[in-house]
Amino acid sequence: MVLAHLASLTARRLLELSSRFGTASGCLRAVESGEAGTEADRAWAARLEPAKVVERLESAGATLVAVGDPEYPAELFDLYDPPAALFVRGSPVGGPECRVAVVGARNCSAAGTEMAGALVAALAAAGATVVSGAARGIDACAHESALASGGRTIAVLGSGIDVAYPRTNRSLIEAIAGTGSVVSEYPPGTPAEPFRFPARNRIVAALSSAVVIVEGAEGSGAMITAEHALDLGREVYAVPGAPSTALAHVPLLLIREGATPIRGPQDLLDDLGLKAPDPVGGALSSGVSGSAGEGLTPQERAVWDALLGPVTPDALARATGLTLPAVLGAALSLELRGLAVQRGGRYERAGLRR
């Protein structure tokens, strides 16, 4: 707990110290004796009260998962600098399920939002866990669509485990912790600072078997995530865009360098070897009847009820009060069930003809 607070002890440095001193307490004694760390580290370690950190951790509903604990994700050992520990809220991160990262531009376009929502809804329907960074834009859309589709999602923070960043995503992060996992290598109270986000991106890539890039302008953090994924031998997929569009810079560059282009959800599922549940028929009346109506989420039900004719996603969002990513996720789920179809960018109930 103390070591996680010491600024000079990067993940790689801690790994090197552990090979010399064997245990966390041995590493801390080395810092206190001057064999490791800096004067600032020694001063910080001397005044830090671990009991208060534990209290703050418990108050956030989080736990510490260190290297060697059964819950520590083995995939992180593929990194050059695996975190010595993770702070975790919600469910344990490790597990046999397929995990796919979906990341992209913070200042994304409406088309990017729609594509990310559709991709994530398909992944959720196929049982995959979606990993992202809880940032604005594509990250938030990915988490929202996973939640709206009843899927599992993991948010990796670039701040302390109890520090929501951006603040506008606080409720989203709380929702993720309720059904999925929120993780950070930073202890409680650590502020969000620019240098922490590239470090966060390596964990996003390492936790995933594949990374999907949906939009990214030149200099985007999405490129950093993709580079980490390539270094780790993970599959990288990119959604192509018009070359004249700034947000297409990263996906097109990655495709030029060998990333796999995907046109939509089915391409992604096929390439990953995943399969969504078989569609179910029925439900051509004003209500969802029989087995077709079983298991609909509240979001899916709200979208179904609003499909009184061909409707755009924006109109569905206004009619239901849902966010656009939630609408897109619910609409795609209805499509996969065979209850809705998309024609010309508008959704309508399956079987209806204008």
In angstroms, the CA 120 to CA 147 distance is 10
What token pair was written down for 213? 């890039």
Is 70 exceeded by the pLDDT of residue 55?
yes
Is 70 exceeded by the pLDDT of residue 170?
yes
Contact 31, 37 (CB under 8 A): yes
The CATH number of whichever domain residue 120 belongs to comes to 3.40.50.450
> pLDDT-derived band of residue 323, with 50, 70 and 90 as boundaries?
confident
Residue 143 in domain: yes
Is 90 exceeded by the pLDDT of residue 325?
no
> pLDDT-derived band of residue 294, with 50, 70 and 90 as boundaries?
low
Contact 241, 235 (CB under 8 A): no
Q: Cα angle at 164 between 141 and 198, to 5 degrees? A: 75
Is 50 exceeded by the pLDDT of residue 281?
no
Contact 81, 198 (CB under 8 A): no
Residue 64 in domain: no
pLDDT at 136: 95
The residue ranking higher by pLDDT, 63 or 313, is 63
The closest alpha carbon to 318, from 340, 335, 303, 296, belongs to: 303
Same domain, 224 and 129: yes
Helix (H, G, I), strand (E, B) or coil at 317: helix
pLDDT at 285: 36
Instruction: Give the DSSP letter of residue 228.
Output: H
Is 90 exceeded by the pLDDT of residue 317?
no
Helix (H) or strand (E) holding 117: helix 110-125
Same domain, 241 and 142: yes
Contact 348, 337 (CB under 8 A): no
pLDDT mean over 120-140? 95
Same domain, 166 and 231: yes
Helix (H) or strand (E) holding 346: strand 346-349
Number of domains in the chain: 3
Residue 192 in domain: yes
Range of the domain at 222: 99-272
What token pair was written down for 140? 């938030």
pLDDT at 292: 46
Residue 61 in domain: no
Q: Express each pLDDT in 66-114 by its tens digit.
A: 998 999 999 999 999 999 999 999 999 977 789 999 999 999 998 899 8
Residue 12 in domain: yes
pLDDT at 305: 86
Residue 44 in domain: yes
The CATH number of whichever domain residue 302 belongs to comes to 1.10.10.10
In angstroms, the CA 341 to CA 309 distance is 11
Is 50 exceeded by the pLDDT of residue 256?
yes
Is 90 exceeded by the pLDDT of residue 174?
yes
The residue ranking higher by pLDDT, 280 or 276, is 276
Q: Express each pLDDT in 333-347 by its tens digit.
A: 888 778 888 887 788
For 143-188, give the DSSP string.
HHHHHHTT--EEEE-SS-TT--SSGGGHHHHHHHHHHSEEEESSPT
pLDDT at 329: 83
Contact 145, 325 (CB under 8 A): yes
Same domain, 15 and 105: no
Same domain, 13 and 152: no
In angstroms, the CA 327 to CA 313 distance is 7
Same domain, 254 and 191: yes
Same domain, 107 and 168: yes
Same domain, 189 and 318: no
Q: Express each pLDDT in 189-247 by its tens digit.
A: 999 999 999 999 999 999 999 999 999 999 999 999 999 999 999 999 999 998 999 99
The residue ranking higher by pLDDT, 312 or 214, is 214
In angstroms, the CA 212 to CA 105 distance is 12
Give the whole-number percent of the chain exceeding pLDDT 70: 94
Residue 59 in domain: no
Please state the pTM of the whole predicted model: 0.81
Residue 63 in domain: no
Is 90 exceeded by the pLDDT of residue 328?
no
Question: Among 54-63, 127-136, 148-157, 290-299, which stretch is predicted with the lowest mean pLDDT?
Answer: 290-299
The distance of Cα 325 from the centroid of its chain, to the nearest Å, equals 14
